[in-house]
Structure 1
Amino acid sequence: MALDKNNAVEITNGDFQAISNLLSEGKTVLAALELGPKVQESLKNGKMSDDFAFIELKEKKENAGTCACGKDANVLVYLWR
């Protein structure tokens, strides 16, 4: 499916299973992540490692929620397949 910023489903609680399920349904997800080395590399490439999803930065934002890794999130990103 294509990136659909106008109808993105927001997940800021780190629920990786919910993110994965929504992506499998063809939805765009606005996810809170921690901007670590892997996320930075994914943003640079436009794709998450292991081809999980395409990724695009929406904004850097402190206290954005909880990352799926359990850390405090400081970016919001769009994910889609």
Structure 2
Amino acid sequence: MSDLLDNKEEAEKAIMAWLEKKTKSKSKFYLKDFYSIFPDDKPRMIKKVVNNMVTEGVLEYWSSGSTTMYGIKGAGKQSHSEGED
């Protein structure tokens, strides 16, 4: 994949397949973790695809205040405790 934005749907499928395989061991990932899926593409293009998936509601951000991670929306321990008072 030389240009992720031209083939956005395939890029999103590849990201979801990678995440579904990896979420057995952990649920949140750094942006740089996604770089291994597309070694020939620039980090900026990968970030655009991942951020677009967040906008579409497929993925979600998680932030500790000093770092931002990404995961499948609704997956992981953190998502179960958010929103509870």
User: What TM-score does the superposition give when structure 2 sets the normalisation length?
Assistant: 0.28
The structure with the largest alpha-carbon Rg is 2
Which of the pair has the greater relative contact order for Cα pairs under 8 Å at 6+ separation?
A: 1
User: What TM-score does the superposition give when structure 1 sets the normalisation length?
Assistant: 0.29
